[in-house]
Structure 1
Amino acid sequence: MFRALEKYFEPTVIVASLITIIIMVFADVIARFAFSTSIVVANEIARICFVYLIYFGISYAIREHRHMRVTFFVDKFPPKFKRMILLVSESIFLIYSITVCVLGIEITQQAIARGKTLSATQWPTSVLYAAIIFSGLLCALRLLYSLYLIGVRGDISMYQNEEMPQ
């Protein structure tokens, strides 16, 4: 159960968000052109889904070791130094992810305290800001696992430079 959740959680959220965006925008376009009206909640739901798609995409990129990084200099070092550099860079990224998560909690708490709601759906704005918390937490967990692989197991194979297809 946990392994399936770990493997499919982010892709499921990303795909579900993308499908919802497509359906909402398509339905709103049809409503505008065919019926001269608009689906009031369509843009807001699409915006929320887009935010979740982006934030969960960050975590997914970390899991797949596809997040943006410059490895030109790292690739020039022997494996022992490469391992130390990767430990430092992943640690910095972990600190950043934890900071994002903590700030996301603060922003979400402020939104809850203010009682603000989204205009069309009347959902609390904390629904939108919660994506920051989830993403920060997932990123931190993914980076902790990456640090474990690099630091304890000495596995840096996932960071070997791959040739780009031409």
Structure 2
Amino acid sequence: MFRLLEKYFEPTVIVASLVTIIITVFADVIARFALSTSIVVANEIARLCFVYLIYFGISYAIREHRHMRVTFFVDKFPSQFKRLILFVSESIFLVYSVTVCVLGVEITQQAIARGKTLSATQWPTSILYAAIIFSGLLCSLRLLYSLYQIGVKGDISLYQNEEMPQ
């Protein structure tokens, strides 16, 4: 069960968010042109889904080792140094992800305390900010696993410079 969740969670959230964006924006466009009206909640739901799509996309990129990184200098070093540099790099990224998660918790708590709601749906704004917490937590877990792979197993094969498809 955990393996299925680990494998499909981010892609499911990303695809569901994208499909929801497409459907709501399309329905709103049709309503505007065909019915001369607007779906009030369409833009807000699309924005909410877009935020979740982006934040979960970051976690997915880390899982697939496709997050942005500059490897030009790392590739010039021998394997022993590559491992150390990658470990330090992933550690810095982990500190950043934990910081994002902690700040996300603070922002979400402030939103809950203020009782703010989204204007069209009247949902609490904390739903929007919760994406920061989930993403930061998932990114941190992915980076911890990456540090385990590099530090304990010594596996840097996933970080080897690959030719970009053209």
TM-score category by the smaller chain?
over 0.9
- Corresponding residue number in structure 1 for 2:119: 119
Task: Quote the residue 1:5 is aligned against.
Answer: 5
Query: 1-side partners of 2:28 and 2:43: how far apart?
Result: 8
Q: Give runs of aligned pairs for residues 33-48 of structure 1, distance below 5 A.
A: 33-48=33-48
Q: Which runs of 4+ in 1 moved over 2 A?
A: none
Q: Distance in 2 between matches of 1:10 and 1:65?
A: 14
The whole-number CA distance in structure 2 between the counterparts of 1:95 and 1:160 is 23
Question: How much has 1:164 moved relative to structure 2?
Answer: 1.4
Q: In structure 1, what is the Cα distance between the partners aligned to 2:164 and 2:15?
A: 25
1:103-118 alignment to 2 at 5 Å?
103-118=103-118
In structure 2, stretches of 5+ residues that fail to align are none
Q: For residues 37 and 112 of structure 1, what CA distance do their matches in structure 2 show?
A: 33
For 1:109, give the aligned amino acid: Q
SS in 1 for 2:94: helix
1:165 shift after superposition: 2.1
The letter for the 1-side match of 2:54 is: I
> Where does structure 1 lack aligned partners over 5 or more consecutive residues?
none
Percent identity over the alignment? Answer: 90
Which residue number in structure 2 is paired with residue 90 of structure 1?
90
CA RMSD in angstroms comes to 0.4
Match of 1:133 in 2: 133
List per-residue Cα deviations over 1:74-131 (Å, max 9, x = no partner): 0000110000000000000000000000000000000000000000000000000000
Give the whole-Å Cα distance in 1 for the aligned partners of 2:35 and 2:41: 16
The within-5 A match list for 1:33-72 is 33-72=33-72
TM-score (norm. length: structure 2):
1.00
